[in-house]
Amino acid sequence: MHEMSIALNIIDIVLEAAKQEHAERINSIEMEIGALAGVIPEALSFCFTEAQKNTPAAQAQINFKFTPAEAFCPACEHRFPAYERAVLCPKCGDMVVQLSGGTALKVKKINID
Ligand SMILES: [Zn+2]
């Protein structure tokens, strides 16, 4: 499963950071997920719960911060945040053809003791 390899990767990053800081406990992790990153948060959350078992991050809470893609409507030159791939321009109702960004998938913040 795609999300499982991401979850294992998050654990790696977090444990490495905790080691460098000589932390004893990992309290929480904040993940940034772009709207177009192709990740299902529920699936990732489930996989993370599995991946964190028997690790120093076993008690860590994972929180997601969603960031939109930027949509640009060439018809009316309107820019707006898009949370999905198929969007209509809220101004003129045109099909938006240009989307950029929104593919971030990274650990933003780690709260450790
Ligand atoms: Zn438009």
- How confident is the model over 4-25, as a mean pLDDT? 94
**How far, in Å, is the centroid of ligand 1 from the Cα of 93?**
6
Res 111: pLDDT: 95
**How far, in Å, is the centroid of ligand 1 from the Cα of 67?**
21
Res 1: pLDDT: 57
pLDDT in tens, 72-88: 999 999 999 999 888 99
pLDDT in tens, 91-106: 999 997 799 999 999 9
With H, G, I as helix, E, B as strand and everything else as coil, classify residue 72: strand
Phi-psi region of 45 (alpha: psi -120 to 50; beta: other; left: phi over 0): alpha
**How far, in Å, is the centroid of ligand 1 from the Cα of 70?**
13
- How confident is the model over 28-56, as a mean pLDDT? 94
Q: Domain ranges in the chain?
A: 2-68+101-112
* Strands (DSSP E) found in the chain: 26-34, 61-67, 69-73, 78-82, 98-100, 105-112
Residue 11, pLDDT above cutoff 90: yes
pLDDT in tens, 46-77: 999 999 999 999 999 999 999 999 999 999 99
Res 97: pLDDT: 78
Any idea which fold 2-68+101-112 has? hypothetical protein PF0899 fold (3.30.2320)
**How far, in Å, is the centroid of ligand 1 from the Cα of 13?**
41
**How far, in Å, is the centroid of ligand 1 from the Cα of 85?**
16
Bridge-partner residues for 112, per DSSP? Answer: 26
